[in-house]
Amino acid sequence: MTRAIDDLLSAAVASGEVPGVVAMAATDSGIVYQGAFGKRALDKPEAMGFDTTLRLFSMTKAITGAAAMQLVEQGKLSLDAPIAELLPDLAAPKVLEGFDAAGQPRLRPAKGAITLRQLLTHTAGFGYETWNADIKRYQEVTGIPGLSSGKLSSMNMPLTFDPGTAWEYSISIDWAGRAVEAASGEDLETYFKRHIFAPLGMKDTAFIQSDDQRARRATVHQREADGGLRPMVLDRPDRGEFFGGGGGLFGTVPDYLAFTRALLAGGAPLVRPETMAEMARNSIGDIDVVPLQSFVPERSALADFWPGMKQKWGLTFLINTGTTPQGRAPGSLSWAGLGNLFFWVDPTRRVTGVFATQVLPFFDPRTMRVFRDFETAIYKSL
């Protein structure tokens, strides 16, 4: 199995499907696969390795969710109380209904209060500029910067629907990160280091990288129209005005696997088993997760993990309701990062995996094929 996956990933690098990749998988018994291939940047000689740091993008979200649930355990946060009790900026949310004849936004008061559960499940009503054209237009009309600017003012966005009535991938977990800070009295960098990274030995995961960690960072690459890959400078600062709980972390694949192995183990040492069970169940009821249809093709392709299958959301995880073509059992937990990083935790078949590269757009078909083949090979080996 190891040789087969080595051949698969090295061939993907040689063919230009990915510039470099790090992939790992583990069961209850320990690590069953680890491999690193290619380069950190196509225009530089350094090899991709297990010590390579990457932009985790939205793989940050599950870590923020775990932090929030630690505070729920302690009674410092409530899943279902109005979050405005801690975050006054969310006390009177407005819903964007469209734009008038003059191009100005039409806003109305939202029906109902926003809760932490809604923030963690993307049902609070917020959107993302990459996947919602109205949000992008609102930014342009009002002059509010995009989230990637790192500006705190980028959080001041209207809702796209009333809280609890639909699912839309969004900035809501950035707001959940702000709730963690308000409830704990610590900024996210400090809180994560003390309560998540240190217990798990995640020594290379941080919002603020050291000089050594930055020197080991992989470069993001853009897929060109001819299928080639071009190293690019990403238009976001390393450190903004706030720590982005929705996508601001850097880290390594071994570090992230330590986190997913804790989830596979029922949450220990991060949360109690009953808390992990709450995180892993469907928390959106009859609402379904919908495909991410981007209108910014250089940032994201159409992202539908399992076409035709109902997909649900737990407390920061996508949940598949059927067995996937790769072999993942129903009720597994997963998510991803914009640069085509992916993780999954399968409590039934007792396996977890992390696959990471740095390629845009998200859900790039060539990169997705490599990830799917990697996951399939892991399941065939079980």
Q: List the catalytic residue out of 61, 154, 294, 300.
A: 61
- Residue 176 and residue 116 in contact, taking contact as beta carbons nearer than 8 Å: yes
- Please report where in the chains the tokens 């997913």 appear, as a residue: 260
Name 337's bridge partners: 341
Is 203 an active-site residue?
no
Q: Could you give the angle at the alpha carbon of 249 between the alpha carbons of 297 and 131, nearest 5°?
A: 25
Q: List the catalytic residue out of 33, 128, 138, 169.
A: 169
Q: List the catalytic residue out of 39, 58, 191, 312.
A: 58
- Helices (H) and strands (E) counted in the chain, each on its own, are 11, 14
- Residue 27 and residue 379 in contact, taking contact as beta carbons nearer than 8 Å: no
259: Cβ contacts below 8 Å, ≥ 6 apart: 62, 63, 66, 196, 200, 202
The two tokens of residue 378 are 């892991």
Given CA atoms 268, 196, 374, 49 in this order, what sign does their dihedral have?
negative
Given CA atoms 9, 10, 11, 16 in this order, what sign does their dihedral have?
positive
Q: For residue 361, say if its preceding peptide bond is cis, omega within 30 degrees of 0.
A: yes
The two tokens of residue 188 are 């996210």
Residues in the chain: 382
Is 58 an active-site residue?
yes
Is 294 an active-site residue?
no
Which amino acids are annotated catalytic?
58, 61, 169
